[in-house]
Structure 1
């Protein structure tokens, strides 16, 4: 059974009081991850891996944790359309798609809400994310305050470029950085209006990124180049990736906000 989950980009965030979720603003993107889940058979034992990524065996902790939580003996073959470790929520998309596909493949009868929670807990346990799966389940532009999440129907095109990865596990474990994130993320959330445009979120995201002192020189220069062309740009959280709206042909990769959430295929 196959399932697809869109990638997601977080413009700004802050951890909730319990540290297990996040508040902030994120949006789903049309590119994502397909998970093909089937029973783990004796012939699979030679690969010594329950997960493959574009055909290659790999260790993918949150996916493995989700399969364990669902209590199934399965393998998940992942086909990826987004960069890994560069702020596109790849681990969340892979884990959510795997949970949806496993539920259908094995007839588990879990509700969508339960499967999202399984994927979320797997991400928290692995230290790879705090809220990506909620955005990927809903689709569109998602703004949350830690208690409620609102999804706005957006389909804006955007461009992006990735220069490198930032280890989410290390960022979430950096106490000084997380203290800045908590302060500035709450301020960014307060600054948003009731019906924010993607450009508004991007603009506030760039203020947030600079306030927590995360952008590299290359990121700063690329944001400036997009702004010089009349666009609005910022940095994906957490990755050395610049995304821009209101531009055409400025950055090498193009996608769009995905208005729909994860689904079976």
Structure 2
């Protein structure tokens, strides 16, 4: 059974509550990850339960999700990836959520969608790869959240992006000084958004936030300046050395769009 989860880009975030949740402003993109889950005995199973673009891979949150679903020894997962990994597109969350949805259908686990989202979320937290990506990826569109409630807005803006490198999410989340700045500046940026923000609103506040927490590299700053010179607005994906932009065409290397669709089974 196959399931698809869109990639997601977080423009602004801050930890909330116990630290296992986050508040923020994020959006899904049309590109994502497809997970093909099969019984282990009927799939090519090597030393890993996970195959990434044809090669065995260690993918901790996916493996944790399989364990939580009672399928650690029974399932194999083949991931087909359309988004950069480790560069702020929520790839680990998309892979884990798609795996949970596909595994539930393939093995007849009869879990609700909410339960599967929670399994994927807990797997990400345990692996240290994310705090809230899967909640956005299951909804689609532009999503604002305060840690307990999430508001979804239909958006379909074209998005351009360029990726220059990776920033380890687990390292960022483990940096107490950085997370203290993120909590302070992220809360302020979210408070500054209008009640029904446009993608330009989110991008502008996202850039203010990124600069305030001192994450942009020189390459990121140069790319944002190029977008602004062309009349658009740009910011940095959280957390990755990636610039995303709205309001321009042909400035950055890649082009996609905000996706209104959340994660879903691909074989229906």
Deviation at 1:25? 0.1
Equivalent positions of 1:205-220 (< 5 A) are 205-220=206-221
Which residue matches 2:4? 4
The question of whether the paired residues in 2 share the 8 Å contact of 1:6 and 1:262 is answered with yes
Which residue matches 1:127? 128
Query: Partners of 1:144 and 1:235 in 2: how far apart?
Result: 19
Which residue matches 1:57? 56
Which residue matches 2:169? 168
The question of whether the paired residues in 2 share the 8 Å contact of 1:145 and 1:189 is answered with no
The question of whether the paired residues in 2 share the 8 Å contact of 1:181 and 1:212 is answered with yes
Equivalent positions of 1:49-198 (< 5 A) are 49-72=48-71, 73-198=74-199
Decide whether aligned partners of structure 1 residues 206 and 149 sit closer, same or farther in structure 2, where only a CA change above 3 A counts. same
State the Cα deviation string for residues 180-209 of structure 1 (Å, max 9, x = none).
Answer: 000001001100111000000000000000
Deviation at 1:41? 1.2
Which residue matches 1:32? 32
Which residue matches 1:258? 259
Q: Following superposition, which runs of at least 4 residues in structure 1 exceed 2 angstroms of deviation? A: 42-45
Is 1:226 equivalent to 2:227 in the alignment?
Answer: yes
Deviation at 1:17? 2.3
Query: Partners of 1:218 and 1:212 in 2: how far apart?
Result: 16
Tell me the secondary structure at the aligned position of residue 160 of structure 2.
Answer: strand
Query: Partners of 1:105 and 1:215 in 2: how far apart?
Result: 42
Query: Partners of 1:75 and 1:15 in 2: how far apart?
Result: 33
Decide whether aligned partners of structure 1 residues 157 and 42 sit closer, same or farther in structure 2, where only a CA change above 3 A counts. closer
TM-score in terms of structure 1 length: 0.98
TM-score in terms of structure 2 length: 0.97
Deviation at 1:259? 0.2
Deviation at 1:52? 0.5
Which residue matches 2:19? 19
The question of whether the paired residues in 2 share the 8 Å contact of 1:9 and 1:237 is answered with yes
Query: Partners of 1:191 and 1:30 in 2: how far apart?
Result: 27
Aligned residue pairs total 264
Query: Partners of 1:17 and 1:233 in 2: how far apart?
Result: 29
Which residue matches 1:204? 205
Deviation at 1:44? 4.0
Q: CA RMSD in A?
A: 0.8
Tell me the secondary structure at the aligned position of residue 41 of structure 1.
Answer: helix
